[in-house]
Amino acid sequence: MRRFGAFHIAVLAAGFAFLYVPILLVVIYSFNASRLVTVWAGFSTKWYAALLANTQLLDAARVSLMVAAVSATIATVLGTLVAIVLVRFGRFRGRLVFSSLVYAPLVMPEVITGLSLLLLYVAVAFDRGFWTVTLAHVTFTLSFVAIVVQSRLISFDRSLEEAAQDLGCPPAETFFRITLPIILPALIAGWLLAFTLSLDDLVIASFTSGPGATTLPIQIYSAVRLGVSPEINAASTILIGLVTLAVIAFSLSTKRSEVERQRAERGAAT
Amino acid sequence: MATQRNTRLGRLALIGVPALWLTLFVAVPFAIVVRISLSESVIAMPPYEPVFDLSAGFAAFAEALGRLDFDKFVFLTTDPLYLESYLSSIRIAGLSTAIILAVGYPIAYAMARAPKGTQPLLVMLVVLPFWTSFLIRVYAWMGILARDGFLNQALGGLGLISEPLDILSTDTAVMIGIVYSYLPFMVLPLYASLEKMDLSLLEAAADLGCPPWQAFWRITVPLSLPGVVAGCLLVFIPAVGEFVIPDLLGGSDTLMIGKTLWSEFFSNRDWPVASAVAVVLLVALLVPIGIYQHMQARQLEADR
Amino acid sequence: MADVIRQQQLGGVRREFAPWTDPAAAPLIRFDAVTKRFGDVAAVDGVSLDIYEREFFALLGPSGCGKTTLMRLLAGFETPDAGRVLLGGEDISAVPPHLRPVNMMFQSYALFPHMSVAANIAFGPKMDGWPRARVDARVGQMLKLVQLDGLGARKPHQLSGGQRQRVALARSLAKSPKVLLLDEPMAALDKKLREETQFELMHIQYELGMTFVIVTHDQEEAMTVADRIGVMDKGRLVQVGTPAEIYEQPNSRYVADFIGDVTLFKGTLEGRDGDVALVRERTSGVLLRALAGMADAAPGATVWIAVRPEKARISPDPLPPDTPNVLSGEVFDIAYLGDLSIYKVRRPDGTFMKASQPNATRLVERPIGWDDKVWLSFAPEAGVLLTR
């Protein structure tokens, strides 16, 4: 009813400026020739060159990507199972405990998750390294995957599965032929979410990683504690660029299938 | 009937795998935290003395129960550091939440009233910073708030201040950091509840003689309350336990419980005290977490 | 009326088809005292029903009456809590849906969004392990049957609502099931398309010689397509019969009221005059006459007489004194429908009666207007005596 007026536009402009100016400053000053991070001294890409020589940072990036890829994959499988159990299994004994355990990592402060997992590893004498971080990341990201897949499963039209079974498809096969292909975009979204969360995590990784498994956030954090540096600006810019590209590519690809899906569902309903 | 037994076995397996994982990596670790919080600290590796030795069997367990050590919790109440960091955490998180609500509501409102075609783009613009590294976003404010940072340069350049402001390493900087980092968590649920509101409700209110600003307070705000509560909890809960923001933007006198836990653990190497801090932190968050979970469950039921 | 249309559709050949009247005929489908509960509610409550081969059977009732549950029991998506479901004499109660030779067309169509039209239709035959060439041939045949040749490569979302409905039909027919179940198949279509599709469905059913069971809440649709109708209420089967039986001889107020328009007179049975029952109306004290039929009630019992509006006569002038069942009142409302007008008449005792009259002449001389005093009557043969 009320028009989208100048006031609304001003609010949005201010809001988005607040969200984006800090990031843009990091990006712009990564091309600063001066080591003084707040004084512009001309355009330069020398900090990117310096990055390439920083083997510590590159090693950490490699570790982080590995951890993120492996943990996101396991978390997607487990999170999907959790979502199926929560949406499809109705009431069962222990459901409340089960769902509380699923949601706990979502709301538990990271310091507690990290601390508790570390204490578990120490208690069972599990040497800290790549796998301890990866398992920790699976645990805290699988809840996010479960939420994403769960919301898709709730809107899933069960009659599609019934139709498949009606036409002679056994239940287990129905899942792989009908359900899985249709909810696949949600699984991909869940995987990407888990991947980014893992890539981004400092606190839990700090508790659970050991020698030889220093992740990128740990590396950046130890550099950042010493103050702002153009090299970190450059590393951040690369990360921001990669994530932005991935998000845009993903949303463009899912937007199409999502639009198609909604059109199909709306068409069926009307 | 054989197929029925198969489906029951299948069900059991489907529940069992994630249930086992969650038990092993969520429930057991937390039980260990509770246990260690009741242990004696020693200077060793691991730096605590277990209270329960599971290999000693049930009798030993029962005996150990008799001499559980609540010293750590007593200690938390005697050293003012802990109480102060609790209160300070709640104050900083609460104030930040209020600011985020004040900043986020107009943004969410404007988004919900934007042309339908551009709304997905606006949502993506709000979400995008969330996908870029949290650490980098906090780091960005170090450069802005520093004594020779962009903010002081800009304000000085405009002639608004003669002396640079000392914002970095204060509680104000911590709150700015929290507002910035958690803004999307507030805007998205608010937008979701404002967006699904039927605009003909406002037309009906106007038709019945209600002026626009009153319609906003009487119709729009009450209908967006679920979004307000969800957003506030979504911001408040993690903000209380925040570590990175107070560590990077706060000063040495900034007290937040997450930071205290971290330094207790990594610097003082006192695992029992760190565990006790964790237990109390979680107990303090139980009420908001409970409310949030209740709301989530209701929401999911409603979507069904 | 439904019967007349059917004859035209099927090329003027009058179909003599009534296996339910033959005690020797074995039913294809038998529900044997089937009960299905959801929590405390019995969605299907002790239903026994026989459906015969090549029959077009309609389950009719308002939403929540259990008709969909009854169909889902047949498809295998629900298992009965008590009783048995038999197909061709075999108990299939424990057979899972994917092993039943029964296919279903879903109300939402349930077309697989990630598959093409052809792949949707091919799904069932493929699941049965047909060789590829046979599957392809069958898909072509089905597309032709539902007049969608050339659209096999499209995705469901690229089709119109009517086209999607045809794909759903083709998919459920592709395996030549013994029984085709149709769950509100035309609910999503607009009125005109719905009518066309109804005739097409009858044609396909006749051509393929298959057994169709349709679930619908639309009485007109049920009367148009079905050989027999089962009317359901609160989980129970209230009446089973041909459309004409259901309309002309409803066995209860519920059926009379649900199918078509009706005026009900509540009264006390006073006695009989040959075939005619004498009923004293409660509100007015008027003695009404109606054919007793098979209704068995003792004098003094509470009964109802149901009269269809088209079977009532309405006149602006007093009727001859020997006319049976004369009532009077003032015109309260007139609904002009073009081909006919329906008059709602308010009687002195405050009750209403409906009568309809074809508009045989043009509007210029319409003798009955609002608030006019009118006389109504109906023949004893036009009234149906109901005991419940």
Q: Does residue A72 have a pLDDT over 90?
A: yes
Closest CA in chain B for residue A22 = B140
Give exposure, C129-138, as e/b (b: 16+ Cβ within 10 Å): ebeeeebeeb
Residue B100 lies in a domain: yes
- Tell me, what's the pLDDT at C14? 47
Task: Supply the mean pLDDT for chain B.
Answer: 81
* Best to test chain C binding among A91, A156, A158, A167 (most C CBs inside 10 Å): A167
Q: Is B244 near chain A, with CB under 8 Å? A: yes
Higher pLDDT, B42 or C82: C82
Q: What angle do CA A162, A164, A168 make, to 5 degrees?
A: 110
Interchain CB contact of B201 with A (< 8 Å): no
Looking at chain C, the whole-number percentage of residues with pLDDT higher than 70 is: 94
Compute the distance between CA of residue C291 and CA of residue C274 in angstroms, rounded to an integer.
9
Q: pLDDT-based confidence at C273, cuts 50/70/90?
A: confident
Average pLDDT over residues A133-155: 91
**Chain C residues with a Cβ under 8 Å from any Cβ in chain A:** 75-77, 96-100, 102-104, 106-114, 123-124, 127-128, 155-157, 159, 161, 164, 171-172, 174-175, 188
Which range among B115-124, C64-73, C314-323 shows the weakest confidence by mean pLDDT? C314-323
Contact A268 C124 (CB under 8 A): no
Residue with tokens 């049930």: B58
pLDDT in tens, C207-256: 888 999 999 998 888 988 899 999 999 889 999 999 988 888 888 889 98
> Is residue A54 over pLDDT 90?
no
Distance (Å) from the alpha carbon of A47 to chain B's nearest alpha carbon: 17
**How far apart are alpha carbons C104 and C113 in whole angstroms?**
18
Identify from A152, A156, A159, A166 which residue to disrupt to test chain C contact, counting C C-beta atoms within 10 A and taking the largest count: A166
How close does chain C come to A102, measured CA to CA in Å?
29
Searching chain C, which residue's CA lies closest to the CA of residue A267? Answer: C161
Interface contact A111-B262, CB threshold 8 A: yes
Chain A contact for B95 (CB, 8 A cutoff): no
Other CB atoms within 10 Å distance of the CB of residue C38: 11
Residue whose C-alpha is closest to residue A70's, from A118, A138, A128, A127 = A138
For chain B, how many structural domains are there in total?
1
Is residue C296 exposed (0-12), middle (13-18) or buried (19+ Cβ within 10 Å)?
A: exposed
What is the structure's pLDDT at C1?
A: 40
**Closest CB from A81, A217, A246 relative to B14:** A81
User: For an interface test with A, which of B11, B42, B113, B136 has the most A Cβ atoms less than 10 Å from its Cβ?
Assistant: B136
Residue B265 lies in a domain: yes
Give the whole-angstrom CA distance, residue A23 versus residue B150: 13
Domain that holds residue B152: 72-303
Could you say which residues from 260 to 289 on chain B have a Cβ atom under 8 Å away from some Cβ of chain A?
A: 261-262, 265-266, 271, 274-275, 278, 281-282, 285, 289
In a domain, B287, yes or no: yes
Domain assignment present for B35 = no
CB atoms within 10 A of CB C188: 19
Of B18, B122, B149, the CB nearest to A38: B149
SS3 C5: helix
Smallest Cβ–Cβ distance between B241 and the set A84, A94, A109 belongs to A109
The CATH number of the domain covering residues in C261-386: 2.40.50.140
Of A192-196, C290-294, C341-345, the one with minimum mean pLDDT is C290-294
Higher pLDDT, B54 or B46: B46
DSSP 8-state symbol, C324: S
Which residues of A fall within a CB distance of 8 Å from B28? Answer: 120
pLDDT score for C2: 42
- Domains of chain A (ranges, CATH numbers): 46-269 (1.10.3720.10)
Which residue in C86, C368, C62 sits closest to C215, CA to CA? C62
Name the residue among C191, C234, C189 with its Cα closest to residue C61. Answer: C234
Other C-beta atoms within 10 Å of A193: how many?
Answer: 21
Question: Is the residue at B42 inside a domain?
Answer: no
The pLDDT of residue A258 is 61
Quick one: average pLDDT of B113-133? 85
Higher pLDDT, A106 or B88: B88
How far away is chain A from the Cα of C120, in angstroms, using its nearest Cα? 10
Would the pLDDT of C189 be above 50? yes
Q: For residues C108 and C98, what is the distance between their CA atoms, to the nearest angstrom?
A: 19
Start-to-end CA span in chain C (Å): 27
Q: Does the beta-carbon distance from C111 to A264 stay under 8 Å? A: yes
- Region(s) of chain C under CATH 3.40.50.300: 2-101+177-254
Residue in chain C lying closest to A185 (CA): C114
How confident is the model over C114-149, as pLDDT tens digits? 899 999 999 999 998 999 999 999 999 999 988 898
Residue A26 burial by Cβ neighbours in a 10 Å radius (0-12, 13-18, 19+): buried
Both structure tokens of A104: 């706990």
Least confident of A199-213, B194-208, B275-289, C361-375: C361-375
Angle at A207 between CA A204 and CA A213, to 5 degrees: 90
Q: Which residue in C47, C51, C45, C44 sits closest to C30, CA to CA?
A: C51
Q: Report chain B residues whose CB lies below 8 A from the CB of A101.
A: 19, 22-23, 26-27
Residues 6 or more apart whose Cβ sits within 8 Å of residue A94: B19
- B165 pLDDT higher than 50: yes
Task: Determine the Cα–Cα distance for residues A193 and C110; give it in Å rounded to an integer.
Answer: 30
**Torsion from C-alpha of C3, C7, C9, C13, nearest 10 degrees:** 150
Cross-chain residue pair C97–A170, CB shorter than 8 Å: no
List chain A residues with CB under 8 Å of B282. Answer: 108-109, 112
- Say yes or no for a CB contact (<8 Å) between A227 and B244: no
In a domain, B282, yes or no: yes
- pLDDT of residue C68 exceeding 50, the answer is yes
To the nearest whole percent, how much of chain A has pLDDT over 90?
33
Model pLDDT, residue C13: 45
Both tokens assigned to C362: 């043009």
Closest CA to B304 of A184, A148, A85, A151: A151
> CB A19 to CB B183 under 8 A?
yes
Whether pLDDT at B94 is above 90 = yes
Distance from C-alpha of B178 to C-alpha of B200, rounded to nearest angstrom: 36
pLDDT at B277 over 80: yes
Across the range B144-153, mean pLDDT stands at 84
Helix (H) or strand (E) holding A205: helix A203-208
CB contact under 8 Å between A268 and C111, yes or no, is: yes
pLDDT digits (tens, 9 = 90+) for C286-336: 888 888 776 677 787 888 888 888 888 888 788 887 888 888 888 888 888
Q: What is the 3-state secondary structure (H, E, C) of chain B?
A: CHHHHHHHHHHHHHHHHHHHHHHHHHHHHHHHHHHHHCCECCCCCCCCECCCCHHHHHHHHHHHHHCCCCHHHHHHHHCHHHHHHHHHHHHHHHHHHHHHHHHHHHHHHHHHHCCHHHHHHHHHHHHHHHHCCHHHHHHHHHHHHCCCCHHHHHHHHCCCCCCCCCCCCCHHHHHHHHHHHHHHHHHHHHHHHHHCCCCHHHHHHHHCCCCHHHHHHHHHHHHHHHHHHHHHHHHHHHHHCCCHHHHHHCCCCCCCHHHHHHHHHHCCCCHHHHHHHHHHHHHHHHHHHHHHHHHHHHHHHHHC
Chain B residues in contact with A37 by the CB 8 A cut-off are 143
CB contact under 8 A, A165 and C109: no
- The H or E element that residue C238 is part of is strand C236-241
In the predicted model, what is the mean pLDDT of residues A130-135?
93
Range with the lowest mean pLDDT among C40-49, C127-136, C365-374? C365-374
Q: Is the pLDDT of residue B40 over 70?
A: no
| Residue A227 scores a pLDDT above 80 | no
Q: Is residue B94 domain-resident?
A: yes
Distance separating alpha carbons of residues A54 and A104, to the nearest angstrom: 38
The residue of B7, B24, B90, B113 whose CB has the most chain A CBs within 10 angstroms, and thus the best one to mutate to test that interface, is: B113
The A-side interface with C (CB below 8 A) comprises 157, 159-160, 162-171, 174, 178, 181-182, 260-261, 263-265, 267-270
- The CATH code of domain C2-101+177-254 reads 3.40.50.300
Using left for φ > 0, alpha for ψ between -120 and 50, and beta otherwise, residue A75 falls in alpha
Residue B49 is which amino acid?
E
Average pLDDT, chain C: 85
pLDDT for position A108:
81
When CB atoms are compared, the residue of C97, C172, C174 closest to A165 is C97
Instruction: Give the CATH number for residue B143.
Output: 1.10.3720.10
Q: Do A119 and B33 touch (CB under 8 A)?
A: yes
pTM reported for the whole predicted model: 0.80
Contacts of C161 in chain A (CB under 8 A): 267, 270
Q: In what order do the strands lie in the sheet with C312-315?
A: C312-315, C373-378, C326-336, C340-346, C352-358
**Burial group, residue B119, by CB count within 10 angstroms (0-12, 13-18, 19+):** middle
Q: Is the pLDDT of residue A205 over 90?
A: yes
Categorize the per-residue pLDDT at B3 as very low, low, confident or very high, splitting at 50, 70 and 90. Answer: low
Task: Say if residues A72 and A198 touch (Cβ distance below 8 Å).
Answer: yes
3-state helix, strand, coil in chain A (%, to 5): 80, 0, 20
Report chain A residues whose CB lies below 8 A from the CB of B198: none
Band (pLDDT 50/70/90 cuts) for residue C6 is: very low
Q: Is residue B12 part of a domain?
A: no
In whole angstroms, give the CA distance from residue C69 to residue C77: 9
User: ipTM > 0.90?
Assistant: no
Q: A202, B244: Cβ pair inside 8 Å?
A: yes
